[in-house]
Structure 1
Amino acid sequence: MDNITVKDHSVSGEEFQLVFDDVLEMYKTEPQPSLDKLPSYYQSEDYISHTDTKRNLFEKIYHWVRTYMLSKKMALVDLHTNSDGKKVLDIGCGTGDFLAMAQKYNWNISGVEPDAEARKIASEKTSIEIHDNNWLSKISDDSFDAITMWHVLEHVPNLEEQIAMLKRIVKPTGSIFIAVPNFKSHDATHYKELWAAFDVPRHLWHFSQKSITELFSKENMKVVKILPMKFDAYYVSLLSEKHKTGKMNPVKAFYRGFVSNFKAMNSSEYSSLIYVIKND
């Protein structure tokens, strides 16, 4: 595939290159911001995963869908975690909504979140300390029955190191749950460089099903289940329409999201996918 030039529509207006890796079938954002500069690209009131704001109809719908999906995610974690314990780590936990749901399901929860303001909100919701990323290196081996990363893996700077860390800290019988956008979906191929889920430079990596399988197989882990996130096609199409025309155009976005989900019924290439991963 050809490389793609994509603009940061949220914060800086800068352009970045998506460079294709033929072996892994994935894109890498280049240049990747330095670790000290990367947080500045998240400084936007529109980055709603770090806030609980409901300033308009769009944000209200976003939070309604997120609340609905929390119970679905929790049921998925319950179903695919075979370990006897109930210790879950949510990496990139944002404002703590998934952890709060897991707490209601009587899970022993831990959370990691790099954004200080989001950590504060999450701590207030869960009454536990939410850690920054430095805490991950201090976790003992085989500590968690379940590890979740809901739209987080695409953000981590050191991808293969992160996956090796996940392998180390999950119990041998535990499960890892990864949700990421899928650049092979219909909405991605339709909007091309305007596809909102490219979200450069916050998204440093852009995955296909093959790339997730290959990356985890290097750590002797396997994908045992892949599930769709059907709401993402509509949400991403709304933002993509805004990139395209300056307006969200909900009718066009709903149509494009519907078409994307319809085509994915045959191709399995949904806008976003959840991968359930276990030790091989």
Structure 2
Amino acid sequence: MGAKRLAAVLVTALLAGCAPATAATGGPVPARRAPEGTYAVGVRTFTLDPGSARPLAVTVWYPAEGRAVAPGRFPVVVYSHGLDSLPVLHSGLTTRWAAAGFVVAAPAYPHTRRGAAHFTRADVRHQPADGWRVIRHLVRLDGRPGDPLAGHLDVTRFAAAGHSAGGFTTAGMFTSGRSPRLRSGVVIAGGGLAGSFAGPAAPMLFVHGTADAVVPVTVGRAAYDRTPGPAAFLSLLGQGHGEYLTPGRPGFAQVLATTTDFLRWTLYDDPTAARRLPTDAHNPALTHYTARHTP
């Protein structure tokens, strides 16, 4: 696909709408095995920069023990919603990541969220910077005495993930000169933005329905082909723009297993999770998985 054609497809896809079909730079941290079993999940909300021109309401899901954050430090996933959507509409996936041992922080973007007073699709290009604001805030929060999450965030290990416009937002966070805190990305039904996938190579996972009429699978494949480092592509055969993100729907189990083990591999350096990736999604009637430069 030529550059002009790809740009036209990206614009068309974003204009079509992107809600789901339903509803401290630090040194290297020693490798460790991801938690086994599951945690209870807690949730909190806060507003980042409430008096600014771009306030961000952020929902955070975290591993819990009773009413408190579970003992330990947990890697963080910044999750970005699509157009006319909200973080809570993605909780089927995000709460399960939290149960697996990740803190998930999901901003509601000021001009693309559902119910925005001044909704505009063009604001997607500003959202990668919002994602970085969330990361910087969480780094500060981890050292803030008295905050329930203080001391529980592994601020050397972040991933970015998102659906549709949130997938484009995720790709846009991987630019030249970014902090090494951001270690990996999951792009669901999305593609690249200008400047994406520059700088140090980072593992990327793409998830896409082959019959997606909003963001064609060719857009996701083009972004996959541009990534310089380890990358994998999970195709949902015959599926559209996001029905596979709904618990109980065909493909959800495979998407959950693959994304969770990808995060375990890239944020916990868990080699057993990396070895499971080719089989996590194996269902010839539902999925197809390809990868390059991954274990």
Report the TM-score, using the length of structure 2 for normalisation.
Answer: 0.35
Report the TM-score, using the length of structure 1 for normalisation.
Answer: 0.37
Of Structure 1 and Structure 2, which has the larger fraction of its residues in helix?
A: 1
